């Protein structure tokens, strides 16, 4: 082993993710280190978002903020980074525009544009390009001192591909659809290359200290069932298939793997067969139905309250928690409590505290 870290005092997340019976559901929320926290703005100051990601001291401070604020409630930390560090490592320029989101000044236009071939041909030294992520993970693991497990992550090939061809957020997905329906083979070549980089990035995150890894397919819901099975699922499966062997070859123990195919409710059944220990879902999925679809498979669910409930009353939050608990919490296993997507700016941090407290209260044996 490269590093020696303090043993975990709270390993609930890992036990639950492996499918074990646990005393209560572990809980955390996506984007828990973010703009709804006043201390986030304070620590970030006027700095650029990616500059914060590249500075291990700043990234670890931001990662720890929710762990400290919600001490005793929160069961995981997730490294402060972004899914778009992979396109950057592949040689693309990505900027984070304040209040607007990511922007690629030069998105991939078509397979005949020289940039596509250049990105495809360019060897990527992941360890070197993303070294700052690994240093941030190692420093964060040290600072956590075993309080809770540390989650590493990457974007799914399909979602990263969308950003690389759209150049940022979009409502139409016109470029992405043009690529898949006009140039399916060229698209698949790029998806495959991204998937291999994902495997390497996740393995190096584990080596640096990540104890569970999650793949975010935020745009999965833009594809219908047939296209999802062609352009997203094979690459998600590729990651789940390759990562354990890669870890083994590096002398590292396996870690639980989570996939979050946001919006692809139609594919829940097949998502349970992709090779991941945990399947995340958004609030379009009914918990009772989801558990029925899972059947007897040893897959753990993660989610899925509408992040928008945190703009509501405490009573509304309680009701949303009750619905999740009723559906997901069967036999003291199989559920990691979370929101159905990232927590949004403008939420009162006290409401997130109430969300956590209600999960505790309603799942007490
Ligand atoms: O606390 C955490 O969840 C850890 C850090 C984290 C960030 N991004 C930090 C961040 C994680 C896990 C992500 C993943 C991510 N990044 C996804 C997948 C999850 C999802 O939300 O679907 C996506 C699609 C991105 C790309 C991205 N990064 C977008 C679209 C944006 C702008 C929109 C937004 O929510 O701000 C970002 C910026 C970003 N990533 C911020 C943070 C804290 C906000 C930056 C700021 O303005 O301070």
At residue 29, φ and ψ (nearest 5 deg) are -135, 145
Compute the distance from residue 101 Cα to the ligand 1 centre, in Å.
8
Q: Is the pLDDT of residue 268 over 70?
A: yes
- Helices 233-249 & 157-166, crossing angle to 10 degrees? 120
Report the predicted TM-score, pTM, of the whole model to 2 decimal places: 0.98
pLDDT > 90 in the chain, percent: 98
Looking from the CA of residue 33, the nearest atom of ligand 1 is: 1
| Ligand 1 within 6 A of CB of 103 | no
Give 99's pLDDT tier (boundaries 50, 70, 90): confident
> What pLDDT, in 10s, does the model give residues 41-72?
999 999 999 999 999 999 999 999 999 999 99
Quick check: CB of 33 below 6 Å from ligand 1? yes
pLDDT of residue 2: 63
| CB 167, CB 104: distance < 8 Å | yes
Give the pLDDT confidence score for residue 352 in this predicted structure.
Answer: 98
CA of 33 to the centre of ligand 1 (A): 9
pLDDT given for residue 3 in this prediction: 83
Please state the atom number of ligand 1 nearest to the C-alpha of residue 84: 26
* Distance (Å, whole) CA 245 – CA 218: 26
Q: Is the CB of 32 under 6 A from ligand 1?
A: yes
Q: Is the CB of 140 under 6 A from ligand 1?
A: no
To test the ligand 1 pocket, which listed residue (80, 171, 342) has its Cβ within 8 A of the most ligand atoms? 342
Higher pLDDT, 3 or 293: 293
| Mean pLDDT along residues 66-94 | 98
- Residue 102 CB–ligand 1 contact under 6 Å: yes
Residue 1 has pLDDT above 90, yes or no: no
Instruction: For a ligand 1 pocket test, name from 27, 28, 31, 349 the mutation site with the most ligand atoms within 8 angstroms of its C-beta.
Output: 31
What DSSP state is assigned to residue 168? B
Distance from residue 364's CA to the centre of ligand 1 (Å) = 32
Measured at the CA of 163, the angle between CA 62 and CA 161, to 5 degrees, comes to 115
Is 73 in contact with 27 (CB distance < 8 Å)?
yes
Instruction: Indicate if the pLDDT at residue 194 is higher than 70.
Output: yes
Nearest-CA residue for atom 33 of ligand 1: 101
Task: Write out pLDDT tens, residues 285-340.
Answer: 999 999 999 999 999 999 999 999 999 999 999 999 999 999 999 999 999 999 99
Torsion angles phi and psi, residue 221, rounded to 5: -70, -5
Any atom of ligand 1 within 6 Å of the Cβ of 160:
no
pLDDT bin (cut points 50, 70, 90) of residue 21 is: very high
Average pLDDT for the chain:
97
What average pLDDT does the segment 265-289 reach?
A: 98
Atom of ligand 1 at shortest range from CA of 101: 32
Examine the predicted complex and report whether its ipTM is higher than 0.90. Answer: yes
Find all residues with CB under 8 Å of 56, minimum gap 6, and list them. Answer: 132, 135, 136, 138, 139, 140
**Residue with CA closest to ligand 1 atom 2:** 31
Q: Answer yes or no: is the C-beta of 96 below 6 A from any ligand 1 atom.
A: yes
Label residues 210-248 b or e (16+ Cβ within 10 Å = b).
bbbbbbbbbbbbbbeeebbebbbbbbbbbbbebbbebbe
What is the CA(35)–ligand 1 centre distance, in A?
10
């Amino acid at each position: 082993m490269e590093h020696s870290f303090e043993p975990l005092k709270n390993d609930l997340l890992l036990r639950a993710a492996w499918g074990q019976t646990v005393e209560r559901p572990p809980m955390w929320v996506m984007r828990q280190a973010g703009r709804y926290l006043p201390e986030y703005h304070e620590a970030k100051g006027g700095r650029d978002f990616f500059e914060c990601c590249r500075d291990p001291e700043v990234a670890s401070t931001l990662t720890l903020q929710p762990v400290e604020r919600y001490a005793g409630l929160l069961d995981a930390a997730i490294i402060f980074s972004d899914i778009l560090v992979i396109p950057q490592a592949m040689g693309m320029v990505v900027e984070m525009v304040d209040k607007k989101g990511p922007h690629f000044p030069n998105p991939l236009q078509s397979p005949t544009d020289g940039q596509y071939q250049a990105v495809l041909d360019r060897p990527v030294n992941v360890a070197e390009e993303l070294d700052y992520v690994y240093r941030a993970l190692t420093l964060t693991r040290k600072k956590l001192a075993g309080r809770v497990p540390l989650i590493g992550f990457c974007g799914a090939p399909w979602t990263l591909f969308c950003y690389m061809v759209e150049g940022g957020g979009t409502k139409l997905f016109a470029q992405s659809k043009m690529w898949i329906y006009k140039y399916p083979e060229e698209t698949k070549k790029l998806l495959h290359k991204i998937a291999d980089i994902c495997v390497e990035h996740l393995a190096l995150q584990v080596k640096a200290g990540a104890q569970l890894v999650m793949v975010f397919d935020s745009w999965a819901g833009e594809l219908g069932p047939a296209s999802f099975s062609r352009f997203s699922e094979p690459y998600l499966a590729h990651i789940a298939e390759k990562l354990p062997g890669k870890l083994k070859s590096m002398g590292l123990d396996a870690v639980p793997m989570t996939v979050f195919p946001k919006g692809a409710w139609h594919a829940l059944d097949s998502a349970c067969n992709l090779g991941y220990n945990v399947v995340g879902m958004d609030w379009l999925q009914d918990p009772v139905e989801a558990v029925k679809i899972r059947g007897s498979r040893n897959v753990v669910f993660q989610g899925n309250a509408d992040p928008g409930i945190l703009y509501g009353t405490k009573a509304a939050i309680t009701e949303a928690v009750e619905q999740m608990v009723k559906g997901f919490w069967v036999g003291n296993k199989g559920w990691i409590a979370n929101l159905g997507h990232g927590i949004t700016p403008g939420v009162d941090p006290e409401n997130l505290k109430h969300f956590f407290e209600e999960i505790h209260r309603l799942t007490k044996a």
